[in-house]
Amino acid sequence: MKMFANERRNKIIGLLNKEKRITVKELSSHLGVSEATLRTDLNKMEEEGLLIRTHGGAVLNDESENDTNFSVREKKNKGEKRQIAKKAFEFIEEKQCILLDASSTALEFARYIKTKPIRLTVVTTGLLTALELNDNPDITVILIGGVLTKKSTSIEGTLGIDLIDHINIDIMFTSANSFTIQNGLEDFNLYEVELKKQIVEKAAKVIAIIDSSKIGRSSSASFAKLGQIDKLITDKPLDDDMYSKLLENNIEVILAN
């Protein structure tokens, strides 16, 4: 079966997370892809800041490893994520059904929600998010089933997606590894991306909750284009060009601070 570029790159990151450094020859053996194709992949991934090219191979740079490790990501930009969570809460109404992804920003949002006297149903793909919200007796928590992601607390794969057919999701709150005008919301885990794509299709409204460090950078694969996003909540003003493009696509931009 032919492997798509995004899938190859996702597997390359997975191998680098495990091995820390790898040669083109080893990658070719693992993935069954020509060395020429892999060199093109590695060069592109280096341009995107996902790895560092070495003679005959690549190593994982520190920032890229941090991006894929949940415990590291959770500690980054905590203050900004709290501001975003507080602002996002303003868009929730009593008795709604909302969905939170498995991002560290959504986890911060869950910690904020659980302190509030509000009756909600929360569907989530995040194990920690589900456990956090379960402390509030007024919140019904539904965890989408699937495979637990390594080095993370998120559910990947589409095993539990049928559940969404039986639930009306008023708002999907989702973060992302990156956000660009060209590709919208992007993430590095291809399997998580496939699950998010399907949820985006089913949610009545999609609100992106993204701290400013993610904006303008690129990642492995897109799960929501601009036309599928209703609001973007972030912590710093966008540049004029991006702001104009989002308005053209009917995306409301909201500053958390």
Backbone phi and psi for residue 244, each to the nearest 5 degrees, phi listed first:
-65, -45
Domain boundary residue, one of 39, 68, 97: 68
Instruction: Identify the residue with better confidence: 64 or 31.
Output: 31
pLDDT band with cut points at 50, 70 and 90 for residue 61: low
Domain boundary residue, one of 68, 92, 115: 68
**pLDDT recorded at residue 45:** 80
Q: What is the mean pLDDT of residues 76-82?
A: 81
Domain harbouring 96, CATH code: 3.40.50.1360
Q: Are residues 23 and 108 in the same domain?
A: no
**pLDDT recorded at residue 15:** 85
pLDDT band with cut points at 50, 70 and 90 for residue 257: confident
**pLDDT recorded at residue 65:** 47
Q: What is the mean pLDDT of residues 12-24?
A: 84
Which residue is associated with the tokens 């299709």? 201
CA pair distance 244, 74, nearest whole angstrom: 31
- Tens-digit pLDDT profile for residues 152-198: 667 766 677 788 888 999 999 999 988 999 999 998 777 788 889 99
Q: Are residues 17 and 101 in the same domain?
A: no
Q: Are residues 52 and 98 in the same domain?
A: no
What domain range includes position 43?
A: 5-68
DSSP E strand stretches across the chain: 21-23, 52-54, 57-59, 97-100, 120-124, 139-143, 147-148, 155-156, 171-174, 178-180, 184-187, 206-209, 221-224, 231-234, 252-255
Q: Are residues 42 and 169 in the same domain?
A: no
Which residue is associated with the tokens 């060395």? 35
At 207 the three-state DSSP class reads strand
* Whether pLDDT at 66 is above 70: no
> What is the overall mean pLDDT for the chain?
86
Number of domains in the chain: 2
Domain harbouring 63, CATH code: 1.10.10.10
Q: Are residues 52 and 83 in the same domain?
A: no
User: Which tokens belong to 121?
Assistant: 């149903």
Q: Are residues 64 and 116 in the same domain?
A: no
pLDDT band with cut points at 50, 70 and 90 for residue 19: confident
**pLDDT recorded at residue 70:** 47
**pLDDT recorded at residue 117:** 93
Q: Are residues 78 and 59 in the same domain?
A: no
Q: Are residues 196 and 136 in the same domain?
A: yes
Rounded to whole angstroms, what are the CA distances from 131 to 36, 94, 181?
Answer: 46, 21, 34
Q: Are residues 77 and 201 in the same domain?
A: yes
**pLDDT recorded at residue 224:** 97
CA pair distance 203, 132, nearest whole angstrom: 23
Q: What is the mean pLDDT of residues 62-86?
A: 66
CA-angle at 179, arms to 44 and 210, nearest 5°: 135
Q: How far from each other are the two terminal CA atoms of the chain, in whole angstroms?
A: 48
45-49, 189-193, 209-213 — which one is most confidently predicted on average? 209-213
Q: Are residues 45 and 117 in the same domain?
A: no
pTM here is: 0.74
Q: Are residues 43 and 151 in the same domain?
A: no
Closest by CA to 82, choosing from 209, 213, 237, 230, is 209
Domain boundary residue, one of 44, 68, 92: 68
Q: What is the mean pLDDT of residues 1-22?
A: 78
Q: Are residues 31 and 106 in the same domain?
A: no
Q: What is the mean pLDDT of residues 219-231?
A: 92
Angle of helix 5-19 relative to helix 24-31, nearest 10 degrees, comes to 120
